[in-house]
Amino acid sequence: MIRHNGKSLCALLLAVLLTLNLCACGCQSQQSPAPTGETVTDGAGRTLALPEDPAEEKIASVYGTAVPFLVALGLSEQVVAVNAKSSFWTDAVPALDEAGTVGRGVVDLEALAASGATVLVHRANDRETVEAVERLGIDVVCISGEDLEGIYQTLRLLGTYFGREDRAEEVIAWMEGKFEIIDEIVAGIPQEERVTALVMGSEPGRIAGGDMLQSWMIEKAGGISVSAQVTNDSNWMNVGVETVFSWNPQYLFCTSSAALDYTPEELLTDPAWSALAAVEDGRVYQIPARIDTWDMPGVASVLGTFWMLHTMYPDAFSTQELEAEIEDYYTFLFGRTFDADYLGYTLT
């Protein structure tokens, strides 16, 4: 029988522990790194890790354009703070009416931190806010949708991030079907009958440039956008009334996505505007609707394009056909229709 004194036993134990530790380190160094998880690229080109449980994410946004996308994808119940541009959205979607706010366009960082939000959906061209929000430990998903491809990309981005891929593809398929109808109608309009048009913003001389959705809608509806050659990073731009007169559009559309400091009626009765072709022929209109917006990025751009098509070419697309498309849109998005008087539009 071999006996060990206290010192030799202690030395033996230390040697065993050292051997085990070295083995563990060696084994660990040979293991593959743990998976980093799936990622997606957002509208600002940033690579984002997808949430482990998308259904548990709490969404906030101060970007009014985000609202139609969130509603279209069925994410309203996850919204804790939102900037709804009109009462229509909070009336039509009860969950949005219950949501709070963390700013209108500009993020209130203190309110956002206290909101319980885990992710902010924000515009793609605001790096400073993105960095400030991320310092709070809140993720940011940036979106941009100033043309049809951008709208589709935004739907797929949010669909992937929040686990609503199937719904995103359903919405895109619906939109594609509608734009195919528009393309077929426009193809039948002779080139020599195409008219020129411009979308004007919140004040006279402030217009949608060629890189904005509103100008794209004009072209999609068979019109010729007079501002196609001027751009401003997808933002409204002030070109001045003189430039509008030099373009002399046959149709002047006024946005419903921003409050106007004028009315179409004022332009039509103002002698200073009487030489403009659109005014002379009585073709100045505000894009519908009073409490909804058909010219903002999102699924409603389908309606705005149908409306422009009808307004510029009523013989090619009738009032009855437009009414049917309006009903189909609201049924698809909200499961019900809304009165024209409530929404605030009149068809001719």
Which tokens go with 225?
A: 């956008």
* 141 closest CA partner among 45, 72, 234: 45
For 242-301, write each residue's pLDDT tens digit: 999 999 999 999 998 888 999 999 999 999 999 999 999 999 999 999 899 899 889 999
- Check if the beta carbon of residue 155 is closer than 8 Å to that of residue 73: yes
Kindly tell me if the per-residue pLDDT of 26 is higher than 70: no
Residue 6: what pLDDT? 44
Question: What is the per-residue pLDDT for 258?
Answer: 84
**Domain positions in the chain:** 39-169, 190-343
Q: Which residue has the tokens 């332009």?
A: 267
Model confidence pLDDT, tens digit, residues 108-167: 999 999 999 999 999 998 999 999 999 999 999 999 877 889 999 999 999 999 999 999
Number of residues that this document lists for the chain:
348
Across residues 208-228, what is the average pLDDT?
A: 96
Contacts 24+ apart (CB under 8 A), 230-234: 233/125, 234/125, 234/144, 234/146, 234/209
DSSP letter assigned to residue 287: P
Instruction: State how far the Cα of 85 lies from the Cα of 64, in Å rounded to an integer.
Output: 6
Same fold, 39-169 and 190-343: yes
**Chosen CATH of 190-343 out of 1.10.287.610, 3.40.50.720, 1.20.1630.10, 3.40.50.1980:** 3.40.50.1980
pLDDT of 54 strictly over 80: yes
Token reading at 311: 């307004």
The answer to whether the CB of 178 falls within 8 A of the CB of 274 is: no
Please determine, for residue 41, whether its predicted confidence score (pLDDT) is greater than 90. Answer: yes
DSSP string, 172-202: HHHHHHHHHHHHHHHHTS-GGG--EEEEE-S
Residue 123 main-chain phi, psi, to 5 deg = -70, 150
Q: Compare 20 and 344 and report the one with higher pLDDT.
A: 344
Confidence of residue 49 (pLDDT cuts 50, 70, 90): very high
Residue 252, beta-bridge partner list: 198, 284
Question: How far is C-alpha 316 from the geometric centre of its chain's CA atoms?
Answer: 30
- Has residue 87 got a pLDDT over 90? no
Residue 36: is its pLDDT beyond 80?
no
Predicted local distance difference test score (pLDDT) of residue 37: 73
Mean pLDDT of the chain: 89
| CATH for the stretch 39-169 | 3.40.50.1980
DSSP letters for 89-147: HHHH-HHHHH-B-S-SSS--HHHHHHHT-SEEEEETT-HHHHHHHHHTT-EEEEE--SS
Residue 11 has pLDDT above 80, yes or no: no
